[in-house]
Structures are given as C-alpha cells and as structure tokens.
Chain A
Amino acid sequence: MKTITYKLISGILAITVLCGCNRQNRTAGGGKQVVVGVSLLNLSSEFIVMLNEAMEAKAGELGVKLVVNDAQRSAERQIQQVEGFIAQQVDVIILNPCEVDASSPAVDKALAAGIPIINLNSATQSTPTAFVGSHDEESARIAMEYIAKRLNGQGNVVMMQGFMGQAAQLKRDQGAREILAKNPGINLLACQSAEWDRAKAMSLMENWIQSHGTKINAVFAQNDEMGMGALLALERGKLKDKVILISIDAIADALQAVKSGRLDATVFQDAKGQGATAVEVAAKIARKEPYERETFIPFQLVTKENAGNPR
C-alpha cells in the first residue's frame, strides 16, 4: 500500500516537473511565449467568428499563443472560463463580454489575481486593464441619421430590436432614440424584437406590412440578420423600392445586398480591426511595453458607393 502511494506521489511529481520544464521551454523568438486566454461571447454568431479569425491571424503574426473559449452567450460560463484562465496562469485575458453587469465578476476576478484583462467589443460595469471596441450607440446613431437624411426629416420609421435586454440591443435602442428625439418629423410607427433572427424578422416585417402598409417609409433593423429578413419580406410585398432599409454589422450577406442595390445601407463594425488590436494590446501588456488604455474603432456607413471596400 505504502509503496503504491510513494510511486503515485513520485509519478505525479515527475509529471509536474516535466510540465514545468515544458512551460519554461515554450519560447518563440527569444522571450517566453505570451499566452492569452480568450473568452468569446458566442462562436455561432458570424461577427464573433470574424473577430476570432482576426485574432488568430494577428496572434500568429506576433507569435502569441491564444487559448480560445466560447461562452455561448452565458455570462456564468464566461466567468468559469476566466477562472480557468486564472488557474492556468495565462499572461493576459481577452474578454468579449456577454453582459454588461453579469460579466463584471470575470473582470474583477482577473484583476484580483493580478492578470491583466482586456475587454473586447463591448463594455462591462467593472473597469478592465484596457478596452478595445466601439460605442454601440454610435452605430445606431449613424443608421438613424441616414434614415433622417434620406427622408428629409419627415416620415414614418419602424425599428426591429435585438434580443431584449442584451447590451447591444439596449445601446442600439438608445442611439436610435437620441436621433429620433432630434428629428421630431420622424415618427416611430412600431418597434418590436425579432431576436436578431432572420426568420423571425421576416415574419415580423410581413405583419408590419399588413398593419401599416405603405405608411412605412423606412426600416431600421438592429442587426444585418434581421435586416436581411426584413428585406426578403419587403421584396415579396413589392415594397422595397418605396422603403428605405438599413441595418448594422456589415456581414457578408448584407454587403452583397448593398452592392447589388437591394439593401440601402449597413453600418460596418470592424471585426478585423477590433480583433487584431486586442491581440496587439495584449502582447504589449505582456511584454511590459506602453499600451493604449482605450481604443475605439470607428463605425462606418456602407452604401452602394463604398460597398466594395469597407476597409
């Protein structure tokens, strides 16, 4: 019995030492390789997939090792993942928060453990070491301003909201309503959630066409998925040439639709810029170089004129 225990303990010790050596050996171009833990909001969303690809590309370029976890929209899972990164003693954590409040404990825990943490794409209540992303309100402001301009400040608009209560929905609502308040001639005819979903957006648009018909002058969908759904319903209702339609994110489908003149405009959120910058900042922090505490990547209106090359 005793010998087995000894063997076990020495075995475990040996493995630990080996692992330890292994850890020391992880070198790339001189210094110790930087390991960055990444917790992403949801890898089944196209925008987050693009963000991830940009990060992987930049990490390869800088010789940084990424450990990517998918929180699948759950703030609770996200906190567990950050706890895992703390246990693994990664050099820096990049957090793509699920929720404003509910993901805050992840930031607090990392900071308490002395591991720098970068918030990517959206904010949390707690202040991280650095922030890379965009003001979500701005995207909706750009969209609503576009509508106001196209309608010359007069007309009826309907707004399709995202999943109620999520940060992106709340902020895009806020941004849109700021512009509506400045344009008293623009009337918000109806406002409902299609839960970021193309099929739901299509049904909702069909119902709106039914209840408001030709009174609708413009549609603002809070993401491109819903924008594409609304577009299909408007086209089937033979109303597209009478209605202005804009959505946000500039996913591949939407860009294609803008190029071919079906969708009036989308607002480009720079996944590549955001992902690459976050990894750059992480590498700088890990190598104790000076870094930007806040980097705001601007949104950009994409219409038929510039649809070929939004950066």
Chain B
Amino acid sequence: MSLLKRFFLTSLVPLLLIVSPCLAEPTDISPLLAELKLAASETATLSSSFVQEKHLSIFSEKLLSQGRFIYQKPDWLRWELLTPAASGFVLLGEKGERWNGLSREKERFSIETDPIMGTIAQQLLAWARVDIDWLQQRYRMELQTSEPVSLRLYPLDPGEASFIDYLQILFADDRRHVAEVLMVEKEGDSTLLRFSNVEINIELSPDAFETPVF
C-alpha cells in the first residue's frame, strides 16, 4: 500500500499537474486553421515531387520510393510513383484510371464503386486543397507546433480509426501547402510523405492528367 502511495505521489501527481492545464484549456486552433484555409484558397494548381518512406512490419527494411503529385482545382489529381516500380492513378472528378507499370495494365475506376479509392482521393484532395472544413469533419485536430505549423489528426470515423492511429501534417513555412504527411497505423506501421519542389499555380502540361502509354 505504501509503495502504491509513494508511486502516486512521486509520479502520477506531478504528471497530472503538468497535463491538467492542457486538458482544461485546449489550445484554440480555429484562428490558425482559418489562416491556413485562407492561404490555400488561392491554390488553383499544385505540382510537386515527393519521397515516400514506409515502415511496414511485413517488410524487413523501410521502403523508399519517389514520385510526383499534381493537383488542379477543383478535383483533378495525379499520383504517380516513379521508383522502384512505376504505378499510379489519375482522378478526374469521380472517375479515374490507375496503372501498373509492372504488369503494364490499366484499369478504370469510380470512387462510387471503389470505396478505397474514394477514401484515398478524398484524403489527397484534402491535403492538396488544405480543405480544413473536410478535415475537421473527419478528424479531431491537435496542434503540435505552430512554427512551422504541425497538426496531428485523429480519425473520428470508427472504420478509419480501426486501422489509422493518427495523421500528422506539417505545413510549409508560407503555410500555402502541405510539406509532410505522416500516417501512423494502429499496428505501428507508418508512412511518411515529404513533398518537395512544390510549384503553385503554374500552368500544367496538357498531358498532366493522362495515363502513361504502355
């Protein structure tokens, strides 16, 4: 009993004293979110390269891949991996086409009939558009750092929450786009995306949303 009491007094009480102010007065991030929303509202097109770093339990090593990401307002996307295996998809509104460079196959999809692609498309569009309203509907947000802005997002949807622990989004210094996304799964696997060479509101090439020719 005395051991328990000592533990309570020496460890838990100080911890509670530190944490309780945070619980009592959570940081109001609304102004910051409004600022992010305003900064991203002028984005009509976005083009960037990215590096993806996956830490998966089923792989003995981390998986590194590179690719490019293109967005055009309101809902066109191109997500393309260039290494180690060429693959990706384009999305034009509700319909899209994905390809696999390895099998040299293409496949059309609709976000209506392919719920996984629907969720992925919504996620990517939300990051590209910095769609704060959508993110607020889907996630509980916590501010990690304000310079640069880093938000941690906890899924509200039970289905998503069953395999996603949280998302951590790091914004660029000018707050106009997302610089990094970290997704941590319940099982401990994680995926980190680092966006670089980000160009905003540039004129996109005509074939930006066309699938490769095999």
On whether the two chains bind one another, the answer is no
Residues of A near any B CB (own CB < 8 A): none
